[in-house]
Structure 1
Amino acid sequence: MSLGKRIREYRIKRGLTQMQLAAKLQMTEANISSYERDKSAPPSDKLSQLAEILNVTSDYLLSGISQPAPPKSLQDIGHELTEEQILTLAAHRIGHEGPLSGQELDQIKLALRIALAKK
């Protein structure tokens, strides 16, 4: 798997759009798109920021050989993500395509509240 594919994979796993990732890196969405399509590679300073945001090591992004950084606890993730990002991530995790119904959103919110309350 290429650098671009690893960036895309972990961006999606973290529930981020290209625009959101670009904003965190103070870059343009076109930069992120270019990285994900392997048209260019991020400079070293952005690579380390990217790895931190995606919660993987720079070595893993570059080579795919190292193990990803250990996942953060659900409590940590809950405090770092917006409600929209949490819902997007939850929808991706269950393989849902398209907009979520109001009932589905309520079920996801309830499950997350329960999970985050169990510390």
Structure 2
Amino acid sequence: MSLGKRIREYRVKRGLTQMQLATKLQMSEANISSYERDKSAPPSDKLSQLAELLGVSSDYLLAGSVAASPSLQELELELSEEQILTLAAHRIGHEGPLTGQELEQIKLALRIALAKP
């Protein structure tokens, strides 16, 4: 699969139109269309922004390969609980550090979601 096809696939998976994606990247819709048709490739700064918006790595967009992800246990050894929750919040669009109250709300939501019925 080509770079353009991967961009299109993940744009559609994220429920974004070409115009919406272009707006988020501060580009024209024609740029996105050109990338998706493999007529041109995004510059490196836009590629990394594009990957972040689409929830994939730049490596995946370029080569279709996904590096092995560390296990949760490996992450827990390297990151504190607060860092893990902050990374998760940033992944869904939260900006900046989490307050103590936000951290507690996320922990409560996780406990509820993981509770056995």
Measured in 2, the distance between the counterparts of 1:68 and 1:13 equals 22
CA contact (8 A) 1:35 1:41 kept: yes
- Equivalent position of 2:57 in the other structure: 57
1:66 positional shift: 1.5
- Equivalent position of 1:39 in the other structure: 39
1:68 positional shift: 9.5
4+ runs of 1 displaced by more than 6 Å? none
How much is the aligned-residue C-alpha RMSD, in angstroms?
2.9
Measured in 1, the distance between the counterparts of 2:4 and 2:67 equals 17
- Classify 1:68/1:4 alpha carbon distance in 2 versus 1 (closer, same or farther; 3 Å): farther
Amino acid at match of 2:44: S
Structure 1 residue runs without a partner (length 5+): 70-74, 81-117
Structure 2 residue runs without a partner (length 5+): 70-87, 94-111
Greater relative contact order (Cα < 8 A, sep 6+): 1
How many residue pairs align between the two structures? 80
Matches within 5 A, 1:1-119: 1-66=1-66, 80=93, 119=113
Measured in 2, the distance between the counterparts of 1:16 and 1:47 equals 17
Amino acid at match of 1:25: L
CA contact (8 A) 1:56 1:68 kept: no
Deviations along 1:24-71, one digit per CA (max 9) or x if unpaired, are: 0000000000000000000000000000000000000000011598xx
